Amino acid sequence: MKAKLSMLCSKQSNGSYFAVCPEIKGCFTQGDTYEDACSNLLELVELTISEELTPNEREEILRTESIIFSEFEVAV
């Protein structure tokens, strides 16, 4: 079975990349390159879904219909 999940990836000030899958609480990783971060996140998501989530949690994540992403500015 395949499912579409989202990934947010940002380049950090030290040059590494931070990636997170918002549908799975606590599912984040990093890599030296964008490709490394993507690969690391894919591996983590597959491992988390198959080994750490209960069947009900797994089913809830796989039912995600749409994801809305937007950016906004804040005054600091």
Most distant CA pair in the chain, distance: 44
Q: Which residue has the tokens 């799975």?
A: 24
What is the per-residue pLDDT across 1-31, written as a single tens digit (0 to 9) for each?
777 888 999 999 999 999 999 989 899 999 9
Q: What is the per-residue pLDDT for 58?
A: 87
Q: Both tokens of residue 76?
A: 């600091």
Within a domain: 69: no
Residue 67 has pLDDT above 80, yes or no: no
Percent of the chain with pLDDT over 90: 55
Is 43 within a domain?
Answer: yes
- Asked if the structure places residue 68 within a domain, the reply is no
- pTM here is 0.80
CA quadruple 25, 10, 12, 19: dihedral sign: positive
Number of domains in the chain: 1
Q: How far is residue 51's CA from residue 45's CA, in Å, rounded to a whole number?
A: 10
- Domain enclosing residue 29, as ranges: 8-62
Q: Does residue 76 carry a pLDDT above 80?
A: yes
Q: To which residue do tokens 């069947």 refer?
A: 55
Determine, yes or no, domain membership for 48. yes
